[in-house]
Amino acid sequence: MEASEHSYSEKRSTKPGANRSIDPRTQMASSNGQPIPNVGQSDSKLELFGFDSLVNTFGLKSMTGEQAHTATSPRDGEDVGITIGCPKETEPKLGTMMGVFVPCLQNILGIIYYIRFTWIVGMGGIWQSLVLVAFCGACTFLTGLSLSAIATNGAMKGGGPYYLIGRALGPEVGVSIGLCFFLGNAVAGAMYVLGAVETFLDAVPTAGFFRESIIMVNNTLVNGTSAGATTIATPSLHDLQIYGVIVTILLCFIVFGGVKIINKVAPAFLVPVLFSIVCIYIGVFTAPGPDASKGITGLSIITLAENWSSDYQPTNNAGVPDPNGSIYWDFNALLGLFFPAVTGIMAGSNRSASLKNTQRSIPVGTLYATILTTLMYLLSVFLFGALATREELLTDRLLSAAIAWPGPVVIYIGIILSTLGAALQSMTGAPRLLAAIANDDILPVLNCFKAYEGSEPHVATLFTSFICIACVVIGNLDLITPTITMFFLLCYAGVNLSCFLLDLLDAPSWRPRWKLHHSILSLIGASQCIVIMFMISWTFTVVSLALASLIYYYVSLKGKAGDWGDGFKSAYFQLALRSLRSLGANQVHPKNWYPIPLIFCRPWGKLPENVPCHPKLADFANCMKKKGRGMSIFVSIVDGDYHESAEDAKAACRQLSAYIDYKCCEGVAEIIVARSVSDGFRSIVQIMGLGNLKPNIVVMRYPEIWRRENLTQIPSSFVNIINDCIIANKAVVIVKGLDEWPNEYQRQYGTIDLYWIVRDGGLMLLLSQLLLTKYGFESCKIQVFCIAEEDTEAEELKADVKKFLYDLRMQADVIVVTMKSMEAHSDINAGANKDPEEEYASAQHRIRAYLSEMKETAQREGRPLMEGDRQVLVIEEKVEKFLYTMLKLNTTIVKYSRMAAVVLVSLPPPPLNHPAYCYMEYMDMLVVNIPRMLIVRGYRRDVVTLFT
């Protein structure tokens, strides 16, 4: 290893008195890096497995991400785990009934069923109401199947659907849909509050501060004439706003009290819901009562037939039919109004952290709640359609209370308590959803909403309350429900697409217990969600999708990457495998050829400890890509034994990967442990890459410091690397003057000069074109210099090269240099830092001294001429000729390319059996006085083509 070369190897410090003979493999560690106590290792009968982590409780808990406590009783030679503070008390876990089924049932049976469902039956008729319920129920049922599949594929943490979608489709999709779902829950809280206030004001009209009378004209025509008019009093908008804001503030104080208080109060809201539904069904079968309205006919076939068809009418903002109303209803509008009545299937998954068995409780509770409520809604369509006339269905906003047994008061109380309970659940779940998104630390802007373990999300709760109050101020229930519908449908579509993608990829980790051909059912469910969105409102759909897209774009730009093993990464992986198989190992056509540079990071010089690669080498790697297309492989070599240096190599690889990301280079990092640079590079050039994705260009720095630092091992390593590239059929690009290479912001002027000496498949031409695509070189012009042996060949060669460049769509000036002009003496000392003739004489002297010393050593030891462990053959005439050729080429380059931004010249291969020292002298003679040069050698393949 050269003394001045940068190396990742570091000396390992050992504690005094440590037993150095212990195999480090015997120090067991858990998967999260915590040491495992070596309990009873001396008594173990499985000594063969002593260095591995045996299966035990600690290991199993570490696999699931849980923190297992080590034994607190100290033993000889063991580390004692110390836990500060008291052990955390675990909250009681919930089962399927109370943890999933009841919350889903309570959220689904909400305000829509009580004060809007009879109106929907009257407006859409029985048959369209049946279609409406079946359509929405099928959507939620398919979503429930997808939810069950993902939930049964592994353990769930907090976050509900956000957690499922984010872990399946990636953090960007998860955050965008999760934030929209948070808004949907926050707006749903306002809807429930308005429903409770509206019910209260209808039950107690004197409690209102304002009164509003609405004249409704009956649209039932008798012989072409109107049947009459009815005056109906409805709650004032201002009353809804005042009471709604007050109730929202009170609920906010309850939520601030903590989840324990909410969990104690929430079950009390279920009893009024179930009891009120039972009272409604009793009232349906016992109607009409003595004080019933004339429109309540009781269950009647005639009424059923009259209400079978639809009767859409314009209404005012309160939903009362009015010929002069501004709101026009159809099936799509009813769909937007009714769909929130079937939402709530995520209530169980939102409580995943509190469930005993998520993989059983979520699918059983969710699907049973969905099926039960859908059947109840279908039955209610027939019962309400056969119970009252259409006029009664459309005008009596609380018909369910009017028919309930034993009286309306029970229904009023049930509606108010159930809606307030649902509002409380929404205002409780929405802040926790926002806190879960913030805790994942994807968006720094959400850091203020973080809630640490064991604490309440107070800031998120306050923000949710402001959103609820803003929606309550709107005061119109029918305007709020379409907004909720879009956000919930967006979430349902995300769940279905997550399941579809996971099932389509069918990765080995995809093993759900509830899998019923979800690749088809999930796609149908996702399509149904999108169709429902557009059926309800094109405007709301475009706005919601645009909002989700903006959040997605913002997260992509500003968010932090989360390695969750999402489905998209699996899709990329499978796509890469299929593409790699389709490429095969056949020769790539020049039209499809892309440079895949292998950046040899060993800089032939010293670098700071925290810089694993020369910065300008990373900048040059970006210059070899067109519009970011392509991939670079950054490699470095750690000197030493693999068993001893494996951990150092891993640390170096992490450091190099971080540096690549910092330099915005699209590439990967690889670290090889080897005894020497030559051995390590030989391994790299043989095994790196797969199929046609193997690196095809080796890029490294020219070792300018080898003579200054007296690094005698560099010539042999340098020659071995070039020979290995030639044998492995890899192109080579050597950068001379790397310290002076411009970065991406330094603009260059002048020319890019190509000294095209040997056929290289067009690689040198391609590199010059790639340089022109970069900001730093886009103002430069290309000059191509060709060497002609005779003056008579100059014009013919120039015409041929011009024609060739024209066919390649490349603009360049062609200059032909003859051998005669190269032999002619020219005064170039004024433009050179060093006199070439003096450099030539010095090189001759050094070569003669080196060869003389080599011969003396060989004669003294009685062996052939050897350089290291390689036998060489020295023909002094050829050495002189090669050195002189480099002198003439160098003087030509300095003469014509004194002001060039960069010079590209063909790389001469190392002469067979020549000493590596001589080759380095040749190369030094070639690059002297040229500040910035690319020495290029192509390989036996064309990288450009004339044909389209």
Residue 523 DSSP SS3: helix
Q: How far apart are CA 54 and CA 29, in angstroms?
A: 10
Measured over the CA atoms of residue 458, residue 460, residue 466 and residue 470, the dihedral's sign is negative
Q: Count other Cβ atoms within 10 Å, centred on residue 122.
A: 27
Q: Are 153 and 502 in contact (CB under 8 A)?
A: yes
328 vs 892: which has the higher pLDDT: 892
Question: Would you say residue 517 has pLDDT above 90?
Answer: no
Interval 586-620: pLDDT, tens: 677 777 677 889 999 877 767 777 788 888 888 88
Measured over the CA atoms of residue 890, residue 892, residue 895 and residue 897, the dihedral's sign is negative
| Residues above pLDDT 70, as percent of the chain | 80
868 vs 764: which has the higher pLDDT: 764
The pLDDT value given to residue 60: 57
Question: Would you say residue 549 has pLDDT above 70?
Answer: yes
Interval 154-199: pLDDT, tens: 777 767 788 888 888 888 888 899 898 888 888 888 888 888 888 7
Cis peptide before 508 (omega within 30 of 0): no
Radius of gyration (C-alpha) of the chain in whole angstroms: 40
Amino acid in position 485: T
Using alpha carbons, select from 334, 364, 453 the residue that is nearest to residue 97: 364
Amino acid in position 107: N
**Backbone region of residue 737 per phi and psi (left: phi > 0; alpha: psi in -120 to 50; beta: other values):** left
Specify the range with the lowest mean pLDDT, choosing from 502-511, 715-724, 929-938: 502-511
User: Which residues does 547 contact at the CB level (< 8 Å), separation at least 6?
Assistant: 180
User: Quick one: pLDDT band at residue 47, thresholds 50, 70, 90?
Assistant: low
User: Quick one: pLDDT band at residue 411, thresholds 50, 70, 90?
Assistant: confident
User: Quick one: pLDDT band at residue 62, thresholds 50, 70, 90?
Assistant: low
The pLDDT value given to residue 86: 41
User: Quick one: pLDDT band at residue 3, thresholds 50, 70, 90?
Assistant: very low
Q: What letter does residue 94 receive in the DSSP assignment?
A: B
Question: Would you say residue 826 has pLDDT above 90?
Answer: no
Q: Count other Cβ atoms within 10 Å, centred on residue 366.
A: 29
Mean residue pLDDT of the chain comes to 78
At 914, give phi and psi (nearest 5°).
-85, 150
Q: What letter does residue 27 receive in the DSSP assignment?
A: S
The three-point CA angle 380-383-389 to 5° equals 120
The pLDDT value given to residue 263: 64
415 vs 481: which has the higher pLDDT: 415
Question: Would you say residue 571 has pLDDT above 80?
Answer: no
User: Quick one: pLDDT band at residue 817, thresholds 50, 70, 90?
Assistant: confident
Q: Are 297 and 288 in contact (CB under 8 A)?
A: yes
DSSP bridge partners of 638: 673
Q: Are 749 and 901 in contact (CB under 8 A)?
A: yes
Interval 355-375: pLDDT, tens: 777 788 888 888 999 999 999
Q: Are 601 and 205 in contact (CB under 8 A)?
A: no
Question: Would you say residue 486 has pLDDT above 80?
Answer: yes
User: Which residues does 528 contact at the CB level (< 8 Å), separation at least 6?
Assistant: 135, 138, 139, 142
Interval 122-161: pLDDT, tens: 999 999 999 999 999 999 999 999 888 888 887 777 677 8
* Centroid of chain to Cα 535: 31
Specify the range with the lowest mean pLDDT, choosing from 619-628, 873-882, 929-938: 619-628
User: Which residues does 746 contact at the CB level (< 8 Å), separation at least 6?
Assistant: 776
The pLDDT value given to residue 79: 36
User: Quick one: pLDDT band at residue 477, thresholds 50, 70, 90?
Assistant: low
Q: How far apart are CA 361 and CA 350, in angstroms?
A: 12
The DSSP H or E segment spanning 670 is: strand 667-674
Average pLDDT over residues 406-422: 82
Specify the range with the lowest mean pLDDT, choosing from 254-268, 384-398, 405-419: 254-268
Amino acid in position 226: S
Tell me the H-state helices in 440-517: 458-474, 477-505
The pLDDT value given to residue 131: 94
Question: Would you say residue 93 has pLDDT above 70?
Answer: no
Interval 918-942: pLDDT, tens: 999 999 999 988 888 999 998 777 7
The pLDDT value given to residue 948: 53
Average pLDDT over residues 798-813: 85
* Strands (DSSP E) found in 694-806: 697-701, 731-736, 751-756, 781-788
User: Which residues does 627 contact at the CB level (< 8 Å), separation at least 6?
Assistant: 773
Q: How far apart are CA 656 and CA 613, in angstroms?
A: 7
Tell me the H-state helices in 288-346: 301-306, 331-338
User: Which residues does 764 contact at the CB level (< 8 Å), separation at least 6?
Assistant: 754, 756, 904, 906, 936, 938
Q: How far apart are CA 871 and CA 867, in angstroms?
A: 6
Average pLDDT over residues 324-351: 81
The DSSP H or E segment spanning 600 is: strand 597-600
User: Which residues does 809 contact at the CB level (< 8 Å), separation at least 6?
Assistant: none
Task: Count Cα neighbours of 631 within 13 Å in the Cβ-side half-sphere.
Answer: 10
Q: How far apart are CA 465 and CA 820, in angstroms?
A: 88
Interval 444-459: pLDDT, tens: 888 888 877 667 788 8
The pLDDT value given to residue 54: 62
Amino acid in position 510: W
Using alpha carbons, select from 700, 608, 684, 612 the residue that is nearest to residue 648: 612
Average pLDDT over residues 760-779: 85
The three-point CA angle 730-908-848 to 5° equals 130
Specify the range with the lowest mean pLDDT, choosing from 3-17, 546-560, 815-829: 3-17
Amino acid in position 440: D
Highest mean pLDDT among 110-119, 396-405, 714-723, 735-744: 714-723
Q: How far apart are CA 117 and CA 416, in angstroms?
A: 16
**Backbone region of residue 609 per phi and psi (left: phi > 0; alpha: psi in -120 to 50; beta: other values):** alpha
